[in-house]
Amino acid sequence: MARTAASLATRLRHAGERWLFRIGAPEPAPIRLGQRRIYVLPSAAGVGFALALLVMLLAAINYNLSLGYALVFTLGGSAAASILHAFRNLYGLSIRPGRCAPVFAGETAVFSLLIDNPASRRRPALRLGAQGQWSAFDLPAAEETAVALACPALRRGRLALGRSVLETRWPLGLIRAWSVFVPKADCLVLPTPEPDPPPLPPAGGDATGASRDARTGDEDFAGLRAHRSADSPRHVAWKAVARGGPMLTKEFAAGEGRELLLDWDRLPAGLDAERRLSRLTAWVLAAEREGRRYALALPGIRIAAATGRAHRERCLRLLALHGLPDPTAEDGA
């Protein structure tokens, strides 16, 4: 019940902010904070300070204390002046999104926003927030600063930074000045690689990994590695085990010029879509580490065999966005 009420309150607050602050689609860069984009209200400390001033004023009136009047009006004037200082601390700033490196699902996406201070004065005590995460920073005079914001990436696909807030309570903490904006910033979240995947499928073989047994005669022995639960028993170094050694698995290297096909349709039928993507991701990374040329086949999409960073990133992007709506359709070749 409490969680439902909190969720409803959050949705109502976001709806109110969309209406009040005109929050909509992501804005093109740079986002400049002008007079109409900065909002100023008393903070919780400011409300308490105002109540204290009111009590002091009533006491001064009741006892006709001249020094009481002077103290109340001096403190009130300082609080009023802080409104202007808080506003000027945000006024004129320019914001544009930086690059966010792809991450695997379950990791943390680090967004970077470049905030430019064109004025000849520093901007202290600023805070940037999005998705419940906050980062505090200062802006030097006439400089651009990159501010990092770490957000959890729970699901594969594109993670948009979304509604962001830049705020300050400088100089006294009595006034909160803030601006709400939606930058064009997103992060590509890749499928989590399978922790202990089967060996890479042989060139032209079955992607389940089982047919590697039938092709060991066409491959060269490359060495031994630690045994994994998915390895075939035929590849276990039983002589080493009989001598009391650890469980090891024989590795074979395919001949030069042979290409791998990482095919969605050749994976075991018992794997669901997410587990297929997880295994293909692990195989793409493994093939790249071994310097093998590999092709990727997904339903309706086939990427020709290649190797290198650009090929790896293209394949991982297709795996991350498989089955999800994505405006960039150039990878569907």
Q: Where are the domains of the chain?
A: 10-188, 210-220+256-321
The residue assigned the tokens 């997880």 is: 278
Task: Characterize 199-217 residue by residue with b for buried, 16 or more Cβ atoms within 10 angstroms of its Cβ, and e for exposed.
Answer: bbbbbebbbebeebeebee
Q: In angstroms, rounded to a whole number, what is the distance separating the alpha carbons of residues 151 and 107?
A: 9
pLDDT at res. 211: 42
Q: Residue 243: what pLDDT?
A: 77
Q: What is the pLDDT of residues 254-289, one digit of tens each?
A: 444 468 999 999 999 999 999 999 999 999 999 999
Which pLDDT score, from 0 to 100, does residue 206 have?
Answer: 47
For residue 213, pLDDT beyond 80: no
Asked whether residue 215 carries a pLDDT value surpassing 60, the answer given is: no
pLDDT in the model for residue 135: 96
Say what the pLDDT of residue 242 is: 77
- Residue given tokens 């498989």 in the structure block: 322
Bridge partner residues of 226 (DSSP): 248
Which band of pLDDT confidence, cut at 50, 70 and 90, is reported for residue 328? very low
Chain mean pLDDT for the chain: 86
> pLDDT, tens digit, for every residue of 148-194?
999 999 999 999 999 999 999 999 999 999 999 999 999 999 999 99
Q: Buried (b) or exposed (e) across 117-153, using 16+ Cβ within 10 A?
A: beeeeebebbebbbbeeeeeeebeeeeeeebebebeb
Q: Is the peptide bond before 171 cis (omega within 30 degrees of 0)?
A: yes
Q: What is the pLDDT of residue 159?
A: 95
Angle between the 273-289 and 309-321 helix axes, to the nearest 10 degrees? 170
Considering only residues 239 and 82, tell me which one the structure prediction assigns the higher pLDDT: 82
66 CB-near residues (< 8 Å, 6+ apart)? none
State residue 235's pLDDT score: 73
Q: 318 near 264, Cβ under 8 Å?
A: no
φ, ψ for residue 124, nearest 5 deg:
-90, 165
Average pLDDT rounded to a whole number, residues 222-246? 74
Strands, E, within 54-132: which ranges?
A: 94-97, 103-104, 108-116, 123-130
CB of 66 within 8 A of CB of 151?
no
Q: How confident is the model at residue 60 (pLDDT cuts 50, 70, 90)?
A: very high
Structure confidence by residue, pLDDT tens digits, 91-150: 999 999 999 999 999 999 999 999 999 999 999 999 999 999 999 999 999 999 999 999
14 pLDDT band, cuts 50/70/90, is: low
> Is pLDDT above 50 for 210?
no
What is the percent of the chain where pLDDT is above 90?
66
Predicted local confidence at residue 220, as pLDDT: 58
The pLDDT tens digits for 33-49 are: 999 999 999 999 999 99
Q: CA 161, CA 126: separation in Å to the nearest integer?
A: 19
Specify the pTM: 0.75
218, pLDDT greater than 70? no
**CB within 8 Å of 18: residues ≥ 6 apart:** 24
Band (233; pLDDT cuts 50, 70, 90): confident
The residues near 301 (Cβ < 8 Å, ≥ 6 apart) are 318, 331, 332, 333
pLDDT band (50, 70, 90) for residue 231: low
Q: What is the pLDDT of residue 138?
A: 96
Task: Name residue, tokens 């002091």.
Answer: 56
